[in-house]
Amino acid sequence: MLRVGCILRGGGGVLLCLHRTAQYRYPSGPERVLTRSLSRTPDSSRVALKLRTRLGVTLLVGVALLGAWWWVEQERQQRRRRQRVEQLRTVALGQGTFSLLDHTGRRRTKQDFLGRWVLLYFGFTHCPDICPDELDKLSAVVSALDRDPALPRLQPLFITVDPERDDVAALARYVRDFHPRLVGLTGTPEEVRHAGRDFRVYASAGPKDEDGDYIVDHSVLLYLVSPDGLFLDYYNRTKSPEQIADSIRNHIRNHVPFGAPV
Amino acid sequence: MAAPNSAQRKACWDARDQLWQCLDDNNDKIQSCQRFQGDFEAKCPAQWVKYFSKRRDFLKYKDKMQREGFTPAEEVSVQFA
């Protein structure tokens, strides 16, 4: 009832005049026609319309912003991944070649593993807990990736840092407990040292006790090597099998064969 | 001496876990856990016994540092100045 008066005064002042509950006589006749033509849509629905459009626009802008942010984030992650691969390439671990005996007594060199994705761990069979844990993790990762028929089969490798004790027979006994495709590698101390040097592996045998037993302190890492024989990535103890499998899937998906045009 | 196989490793780890559980329950009083200590030493190679004992010491130390914090060396030396 008071609305018409307020509208006539200017739409912006609508809310201000709402408090004036003046007695108003409903217009009739020509007055009514006038007031009708002067008043536009009722205030409440006009406010609601404005609100709805405002909300709609805000939502759209919000979604667009989120989309843009997500896209930028993806690009950033891709760039970071590319940078990391480049950095690792510069460090150029695993560039050399190794020649070792596998747990069946067969001689294997690095060339034998080209064309396969390799997941490699350095350890020793007398290891109290870390090596079995890491090899279990390695087996879990390989099994998880095996479940996807679209992915190439990974080659898990175990290279000993304790060649004095870990001969072919010892390795054969050890690798039995883990993934069926796990290949154990050993050799002379010099051959093993050479392979370890390739990956900058730290290994230091501790003092022997009266049984002649000792523990070898060594760096604990899983190394990912591409089918080109290039070291691509590494995973430490804090990485879960799921995280490692995801990372490897990503590497496989983004893999550009060395020398191929990018 | 051959390395422990999977079953032997598990037996050793279980004995260690039982010992550590006993020590946790008895406030690290080794006297209350002699039976578990004996079992642990029987089931694990000597090197592993040493290794796991050191590991427990380290874990307790780390836990203590995380709970209680620590005073950096410089401050301690000031105390004696």
CA distance A216 to B3: 13
Beta-sheet strand order (sheet of A183-186): A107-109, A99-102, A183-186, A155-160, A118-123, A222-225, A231-235
Asked whether the beta carbons of A203 and A175 are under 8 A apart, the reply is no
Do A244 and A130 belong together in one domain?
yes
Out of B6, B9, B47, the one facing A209 most closely (by C-beta) is B47
ipTM above 0.90, yes or no: no
Q: What is the per-residue pLDDT across A156-182, written as a single tens digit (0 to 9) for each? A: 999 999 999 999 999 999 999 999 999
Do A142 and A15 belong together in one domain?
no
The reported pLDDT for the residue numbered A92 is: 65
* Residue A85 located in a structural domain: no
Do A129 and A245 belong together in one domain?
yes
Kindly tell me if the per-residue pLDDT of B55 is higher than 70.
yes
Total structural domains within chain A: 2
Do A140 and A13 belong together in one domain?
no
* Residue A78 located in a structural domain: no
What would the mean pLDDT of A41-50 be, rounded to a whole number? 72
Residue A231: strand pairing partners: A225
Confidence of residue A140 (pLDDT cuts 50, 70, 90): very high
Do A16 and A134 belong together in one domain?
no
Q: CB–CB of A209 and B13 under 8 A?
A: no
CA torsion through residues B38, A208, A169, A235, sign: positive
Outline where DSSP puts E strands in A155-238.
Answer: 155-160, 183-186, 203-205, 216-218, 222-225, 231-235
The more confident residue out of A156 and A81 is A156
Q: What is the per-residue pLDDT across A10-26, written as a single tens digit (0 to 9) for each? A: 444 444 444 444 555 55
Note whether B5 contacts A: Cβ–Cβ < 8 A.
Answer: yes
For an interface test with B, the pick among A131, A133, A171, A174 (most B C-beta atoms closer than 10 Å) comes out as: A174
Residue A155 distance to chain B (closest CA, Å): 22
Do A25 and A148 belong together in one domain?
no
- Residues in chain A with CB shorter than 8 Å from the CB of B4 are 126
Q: CB–CB of B3 and A174 under 8 A?
A: yes
Asked whether the beta carbons of A245 and A258 are under 8 A apart, the reply is no
Residue B9 distance to chain A (closest CA, Å): 8
- Residues in chain B with CB shorter than 8 Å from the CB of A129 are 9, 13
Note whether B61 contacts A: Cβ–Cβ < 8 A.
Answer: no
What would the mean pLDDT of A233-247 be, rounded to a whole number? 95
Kindly tell me if the per-residue pLDDT of A30 is higher than 70.
no
Kindly tell me if the per-residue pLDDT of A5 is higher than 60.
no
Mean pLDDT comparison of A7-11, A105-109, A250-254, highest-scoring range:
A105-109
CATH number at residue A200: 3.40.30.10
Confidence of residue A29 (pLDDT cuts 50, 70, 90): low
Q: CB–CB of B1 and A125 under 8 A?
A: no
Kindly tell me if the per-residue pLDDT of A2 is higher than 50.
no
Kindly tell me if the per-residue pLDDT of A111 is higher than 50.
yes
Q: CB–CB of B50 and A211 under 8 A?
A: no
Q: End-to-end CA distance of chain A: give it in Å, rounded.
A: 74
Q: For chains A and B, count residue pairs whose Cβ atoms are closer than 8 Å.
A: 41
Which structural domain, as residue segments, surrounds residue A116? Answer: 99-253
Note whether B9 contacts A: Cβ–Cβ < 8 A.
Answer: yes
Kindly tell me if the per-residue pLDDT of A189 is higher than 60.
yes
Among A44-48, A97-101, B64-68, the minimum mean pLDDT is found in: A44-48
Out of A125, A177, A213, the one facing B46 most closely (by C-beta) is A213
Share of chain A above pLDDT 70, in %: 79
The reported pLDDT for the residue numbered A97 is: 84
* Residue A185 located in a structural domain: yes
The reported pLDDT for the residue numbered A262 is: 44
